[in-house]
Structure 1
Amino acid sequence: MNAVPNALMPTATTLLTRRHSLTLAAAWLATRALMLWLLAHDATLPRLGEGRVAREVWHRYHHWYGVLTHGAFPADDPLWQYPPGAGPLLLSPALLPGLTYFQAFVALTLAADAVTALALARAGARPGRSLRGAALWVGGLPLLLHVPLARYDVQVTALAVLSLLALPRSTRACGALAALGALVKVWPVLVLLGIHRRQKGREGAKRRTDRRKEPGAWTGFKGPRTGAAAWASAAVTATVLLALVTALFDHPFAFLRHQGGRGVQIESLGGTVLLLATHAGWPGEVRYQYGAMEFTGPHVALVADASLALTAVAFGLLLLWRLRCRHWTPTTPHDAALSAVLLFTVTSRVISPQYMIWLLGLAAVCLTSRHTTQRPVAALVTAATAVSAAVYPALYHEVTTCTWTGVTLMLVRNGLLAAAAALSFARLWRSGTARTGRDTGSRPQVLRERPVPASL
């Protein structure tokens, strides 16, 4: 009597997963069409930035493209503040010769976006997993309006997301993808922070997993492929690619000189403090320099130094967590990556709108698992992303002129980010240092991701 329902269960599960996947695909097509429409009308609708958003690609990126095609990095341009890996990425529109540089760049950005959504959907469709991560990426990215299509942070985030999703199968692939991302914008190296020194790949797990156990069970760190392989792979990949770029281009490390000269951007946490200070009589001014609107005036250097000090404190906290962590789960690398990038973003001297793309991608990876500790953090990140669209481009003039509307927007956005960073690290710390069965001498508990239908 029970045989028929049991036989039908896989079919029902498959149909449910397909329906959710089709819904996500339709949502991706609809939202990306809207983002393209906004980008096409960037110069005609004042609230969309009056052309500033798209100008980043067709003016600045295209100019750098011309310099890079002659075999050199733009060493004399103070706006060039990116690692050597950004060069090949900015040259990538040449792969689509039938399009203009702007059209090819947007097309490749959409392709990276689609790959990210597909990877998250495939990860979430596995037994015991969740499609919430794919839903967050598909629905969260349009909250930034058309900005993601005119920045290359989508491509960088795609590398970080793929790196984390590759970890259960291949620690070496995880390390190589993280290194590729780090060579473009540095921060993807943080995705390796939460990999245990005994993190296993699929091969080791298969040899030691009892076939009678449920699929996806966490079986401990016994595989011969350790987390050290991820770091070694990242080091080898970075070394080889840096050597190749150095051989092909002149001045690959010119960005270090320009990056060090940056001040306090008005959208950073320190910038919010200075925004409030302007209403208390502080005589500072907002000026465009180093490719961003930054504060100039007395005590700005002190605020910049305080930001660097807070970054050092954040690094120390993460290092302390790493040393104290005793309870590792399959979601620990994901949760640690989001927590680390949040801490470094909040304490940075610069928090550009496109930084929210990084946080959305990492939060989406966390939500592919039902056992993540970062679910409320993902909600805060999503809320901060929505406010970021009001900050830039919609009401950016209010921020740059230090009006109370601009101050309020920055207090809300950065308050949400600060709360997300604090909550993220607190939950990461609690989950990693909590006493377990192994600590008390009893039988260690096994974390199982039960093979239930994937859902939103």
Structure 2
Amino acid sequence: MSAFRSMPSALARASTRHRLLALTAAWLLTRAAMLWLLAHDTRPLLGRGAVAREVWKLYHHWYTVLSHGAFPAHDTLWQYPPGAAPVLLSPALLPGLTYFQGFVALTLAVDAVIALALARAGTRPGRSLRGAGYWTLGLPLLLHVPLARYDIQVTAFAVLSLLALRRSPRAGGALAALGSLVKVWPALVLLGVDRGRTTRSAWTWAALAGAAAALVLAGTFRNPLAFARQQGGRGVQIESFGGTALALATHAGWPGRVRYQYGSLEFTGPHVAAVAHVSLALSAAAFALLLWWRVRARRWTPATPYDAALSAVLLFTVTSRVISPQYMIWLLGLAAVCLTSRQTTQRPVAVLVAAACLVSVVAYPTLYHLVAACTWTGCVLMLVRNGLLAAAAVLSFARLWRSAKPLAPHTQPEPDPRRLPQGTLSPS
């Protein structure tokens, strides 16, 4: 009899092992395909070398400057917080490889860490392996772009922070702070932390870890705040919501032009500054909306911190002056964390994010020349991609808001007398 009782648990363990083996095989196959695409980056449909150039030319140039103990203070392309320095210097840890090879190898290693962390979280009781599967199969939707940007490293800080919060709010807070020193957005993952002791612990350790790391970086490199001046000068990128509006305006006679500046293609001309200010105002409004949600929220589930993180980053993405293709990596990582919980409200949002990734790679790198030229095809691509992101942001926040409201007393379901155990009296 005991053998029969142990059969379900044995079958469950075997099923989990099979799923993990399938995920491992899928990761290896998809990453091999991404590497092949990166090796053939010069083909017209893969960007004519523009994707890989970011690493071997721009990142390597910054690596040379950083190696001499200073941030590139007078480089208008340098717009990243001080924490980006260790990431860009990290290929030196692999002396047998070129800078490009070392960067890609370490990016793949961090990608594997994310997949492993999601898989480990998914095997815990009450959790799901959907998150690991979503990351494994979702990242290749962006073709080879993720391997030639350092956004996987940034996303790792956010993913590990969220997964650590439940067991160690201190570690979760510290990881979020370190991630925000690389790129600012990981600080948003702490917005949905449970109230009370958990919030105090996570936010306190985030402040302490962030301050300590910032002091170390300021003492190691000269000009640590040089990025702020360059970031403030950025305009409206062609792939942003404001850029899409301006691209459509060119067909109505608007005289603006597209120009390469601050590391991306941006619009110049009349009213561009006004569009940029509207974007900044919308970002401020999004932050106020998120704070309002936190103040009004009355019910937390284990998935609430995950759902709030995805919703927050989505809102800041759609209101940004810059929506680069690599921003999609952030959203894939956060959606994957949400899917590790069976209580998440963000499953349909994850579908929209994946769809937006598919459209995004058609726009960049495949047909980027049409987007840059503001052709009707380019405008339609951006309308569809940004429309999917807007729908995801609205749906994400709406579902987050509903999930955090307490159930009204009259909405509690009445027990069905037919399903009551024998001998139990009906409420009536």
Q: Deviations over 1:29-64 (max 9, x none)?
A: 000000000001101x11101110000000000000
SS of the equivalent of 1:293 reads: strand
Tell me which residue corresponds to 2:6: 7
CA distance in 1, matches of 2:66, 2:408: 54
Matches within 5 A, 1:75-224: 75-198=73-196
Q: Which structure 2 residue ranges, 5 or more long, are not aligned?
A: 415-428
Name the counterpart of 1:410. Answer: 382
In 2, the alpha carbon distance for the partners of 1:318 and 1:127 equals 30
Distance 2:177 2:324 in 1: 23
How far, CA to CA, are the matches of 1:270 and 1:226 in structure 2?
38
- 2:279 counterpart (299, 304, 307): 307
Residues 143 and 386 in structure 1, CA contact (< 8 A), matched pair in contact too: yes
What is the DSSP-based 3-state SS (H/G/I as helix, E as strand, rest coil) of the residue aligned with 1:120?
helix
Shift of 1:8: 1.2
In the aligned structure 1, how far is the partner of 2:252 from the partner of 2:199?
A: 51
C-alpha displacement of 1:437: 5.7
> Could you tell me which residue of structure 2 aligns to residue 284 of structure 1?
256
Task: Give 1:125 shift.
Answer: 1.2
SS in 1 for 2:260: strand
Residue of structure 1 in register with 2:291 after alignment: 319
> C-alpha separation between the residues in 1 aligned to 2:19 and 2:178?
32
Aligned partners of 2:140 and 2:241: how far apart in 1?
24
Q: TM-score, structure 2 length as denominator? A: 0.95
- Where does residue 58 of structure 1 map in the other structure? 56
* Structure 2 equivalent of residue 389 of structure 1: 361
Q: CA deviation at 1:4?
A: 3.1
Checking the alignment, whether the CA contact within 8 Å between 1:377 and 1:423 is kept in structure 2 is: yes
Distance 2:328 2:175 in 1: 20
| 1:259-408 superposed matches below 5 A | 259-408=231-380
| CA offset digits 1:352-405 (Å, max 9, x no partner) | 000000000000000001110000000000000111110100000010001111
Q: Which residue of 2 aligns with 1:246?
A: 218
Distance 1:434 1:382 in 2: 31
Q: Which runs of 5+ in 1 are unaligned?
A: 199-224, 443-456
Contact (CA 8 Å) 1:86, 1:185: kept in 2 or not? Answer: yes
How far off is 1:129 after superposition? 1.1
Tell me if the contact between 1:132 and 1:364 (Cα under 8 Å) persists in the aligned partners.
yes
SS at match of 2:266: strand
The verdict on how the C-alpha distance between 1:63 and 1:128 changes in structure 2, with shifts beyond 3 A counting, is same
- RMSD (Å) for aligned C-alpha atoms: 1.4
CA distance in 1, matches of 2:410, 2:167: 26
Aligned counterparts of 1:338 and 1:124: Cα–Cα separation in 2: 18
SS of residue matched to 1:115: helix
State how far apart, in whole Å, the 1-side matches of 2:318 and 2:126 are. Answer: 33
Q: Distance in 2 between matches of 1:226 and 1:400?
A: 46
Deviation at 1:226, TM superposition (A): 2.5
**1:269-294 deviation per Cα after TM superposition (whole angstroms, max 9, x unaligned):** 11111111111111111110000000
Q: Structure 1 residue 27 and structure 2 residue 20: aligned?
A: no
Counterparts of 1:434 and 1:402, CA distance in 2: 47
SS of the residue 1:342 aligns to: helix
Paired letter, 1:421: A
Q: Aligned equivalents of 2:255 and 2:179: distance in 1?
A: 40
Aligned to 1:234: 206
Report what 1:37 is aligned to. 36
| Count of residues in Structure 1 that have an aligned counterpart in Structure 2 | 413
> Counterparts of 2:406 and 2:269 in 1: how far apart (Å)?
47
Contact 1:69–1:91 (Cα < 8 Å) also in 2: yes
2: CA distance, partners of 1:375 / 1:338: 11
Q: 1:288 is paired with a residue of what secondary structure? A: strand
Q: Distance in 2 between matches of 1:325 and 1:238?
A: 27
Match of 2:17 in 1: 18
Secondary structure of 2:167 counterpart: coil
Greater relative contact order (CA < 8 Å, ≥ 6 in sequence) = 1
DSSP 3-state at the match of 1:226 = helix
Cα distance, 1:438 vs structure 2: 12
TM superposition shift of 1:436: 5.2
How far apart are the structure 1 equivalents of 2:295 and 2:102? 45
- Structure 2 residue matching 1:242: 3-state secondary structure: helix
Q: Give the letter for the 2:34 counterpart.
A: M
Query: Offset of 1:91 from its aligned partner?
Result: 0.5
Q: Quick check: 1:327–1:436 contact (8 Å CA) kept in 2?
A: no
Counterparts of 1:291 and 1:437, CA distance in 2: 55
1:425 and 1:109 map into 2 onto residues whose CA distance is: 31
- SS of 1:295's partner is strand
Counterpart of 1:207? none
Query: SS state of the match for residue 76, structure 1?
Result: coil
From the superposition, tell whether residues 437 and 5 of structure 1 become closer, same or farther in structure 2 (CA, over 3 Å). Answer: farther
What is the aligned partner in structure 2 of residue 71 from structure 1?
A: 69
Written as runs of structure 1 = structure 2, the 5 A alignment for 1:425-440 is 425-435=397-407
Write the distance in 2 (CA, Å) between the matches of 1:176 and 1:434: 31
Deviation at 1:439, TM superposition (A): 11
- Give the corresponding residue for 2:45: 47
Which residue matches 2:418?
none
Q: In the aligned structure 2, how far is the partner of 1:343 from the partner of 1:191?
A: 13
After superposition, what is the alpha-carbon deviation per residue over 1:237-256, rounded to whole angstroms, capped at 9, x for unaligned?
11111111111110000000
For 1:4, give the aligned amino acid: A
Aligned residues with identical type, % of pairs: 71
- Deviations 1:386-443, CA, capped at 9 Å, x for gaps: 1111010000001000111101100000000000000000011111124356999x9x
Deviation at 1:190, TM superposition (A): 0.3
Distance 2:137 2:337 in 1: 14
Change in CA separation of 1:438 and 1:133 when aligned onto 2, cut-off 3 Å: farther
